[in-house]
């Protein structure tokens, strides 16, 4: 849906711009000539209303002149700078909650054209710990949001609900497999199907964020199964691709299931929550489900 909207913006911007250009080159000079003749014949004693009737601006031209600057601004802003997204699921809890509306920085990982999404200017690469929005590899029409855990060349191991990483090393060197630092925080904030979720602080060097684990789910329940009875819990990240996980580790469909995120699928980096709505309501409430029941102002701010 987001890609369709981008195409619509491009078409509307180009169409209104061409109409404005055609008017400036072809029709505006003729209107100007008619107005000059009218002023000369009346010794310039003619009011504005009469001038508008003598050389009226076609409605399609008037509309194009009004909407082109606005549409062009929105296109540039949305395609190359920032784009708003809504969080539809709990896979990134506790970092992001259902009802959070976030801003995604589009230029962080390179500038891409808004239609074919081909990169034409390289700016930077994802870093470990970044929260990224990307086109779902199995259906590029769907946008996903997860956290980057494995970089190209890394060996990622998910064992007993803990992440281990063997970073890519210079040729000839051997880098050790290291566990990602994990610190227990509490288990009284979040619940899922009557299970109290454990909250941890996970640290990638200087970068820290929080994750959730369900203690009532087996450690390998979320692992990808290549063949019946064969669990895969380690992956070697190919060049130009990334391994991503949801922060709600036992309730996230991520790289453990469908593999890696190609660099060309990256949309941008999630940098801030600009508004957050609450949708919880009583079962007998007459309000439609899409109507917010409150605003969580405390959640507005940057994303870790």
Q: Which of 84, 79, 69, 94 is nearest to 16 (CA)?
A: 69
Q: For tokens 């711009």, what's the residue?
A: 17
What is the Cα 54 distance to its own chain's centre? 50
Q: Is the peptide bond before 94 cis (omega within 30 degrees of 0)?
A: yes
Please tell me the distance from the alpha carbon of residue 138 to that of residue 206, in angstroms, as a whole number: 33
Q: Other C-beta atoms within 10 Å of 190: how many?
A: 18
Catalytic residue among 106, 112, 135, 146: 146
Catalytic residue among 6, 91, 252, 255: 91
Residue 232 has which token pair? 């895969």
Q: Other C-beta atoms within 10 Å of 3: how many?
A: 14
In sequence order, the 6+-apart residues with CB closer than 8 A to the CB of 218 are none
**What is the β-pairing status of strands 131-135 and 234-236?**
unpaired
Residue 165 has which token pair? 């990483």
Residue 56 has which token pair? 């009226």
Per the annotation, the verdict on 146 as an active-site residue is yes
Q: Is the peptide bond before 293 cis (omega within 30 degrees of 0)?
A: no
Please tell me the distance from the alpha carbon of residue 157 to that of residue 161, in angstroms, as a whole number: 10
Q: Which DSSP state fits 114? A: T
**Contact by Cβ (8 Å): 44, 37:** no
Residue 208 has which token pair? 């820290």
Residues paired with residue 302 on neighbouring β-strands, in sequence order: 272
Phi (first) and psi of residue 11, to 5 degrees = -60, -45
- As annotated, the active-site residues are 91, 146
């Amino acid at each position: 849906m987001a890609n369709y909207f981008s195409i619509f913006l491009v078409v509307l911007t180009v169409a209104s711009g061409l109409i404005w250009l055609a008017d400036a080159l072809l029709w505006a000079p003729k209107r100007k000539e008619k107005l000059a003749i009218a002023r000369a014949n009346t010794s310039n004693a003619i009011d504005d209303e009469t001038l508008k009737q003598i050389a009226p601006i076609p409605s399609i031209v008037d509309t194009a002149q009004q909407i082109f600057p606005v549409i062009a601004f929105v296109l540039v802003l949305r395609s190359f700078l920032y784009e708003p997204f809504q969080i539809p699921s709990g896979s990134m809890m506790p970092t992001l909650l259902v009802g959070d509306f976030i801003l995604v920085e589009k230029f962080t990982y390179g500038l891409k054209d808004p239609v074919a999404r081909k990169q034409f200017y390289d700016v930077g690469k994802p870093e470990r710990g970044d929260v990224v929005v990307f086109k779902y590899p199995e259906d590029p029409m769907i946008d996903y949001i997860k956290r980057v855990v494995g970089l190209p060349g890394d060996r990622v191991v998910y064992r007993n609900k803990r992440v281990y990483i063997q970073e890519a090393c210079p040729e000839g060197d051997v880098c050790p497999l290291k566990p990602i630092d994990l610190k227990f925080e509490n288990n009284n904030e979040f619940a899922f199907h009557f299970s109290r979720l454990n909250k941890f602080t996970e640290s990638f060097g200087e970068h820290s964020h929080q994750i959730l684990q369900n203690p009532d789910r087996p450690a390998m329940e979320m692992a990808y199964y290549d063949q019946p009875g064969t669990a895969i819990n380690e992956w070697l990240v190919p060049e130009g691709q990334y391994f991503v996980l949801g922060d709600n580790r036992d309730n996230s469909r991520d790289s453990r299931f469908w593999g890696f995120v190609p660099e060309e699928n990256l949309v941008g980096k999630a940098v801030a929550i600009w508004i957050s709505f609450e949708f919880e309501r009583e079962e007998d409430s007459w309000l439609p489900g899409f109507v917010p029941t409150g605003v969580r102002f405390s959640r507005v701010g940057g994303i870790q």
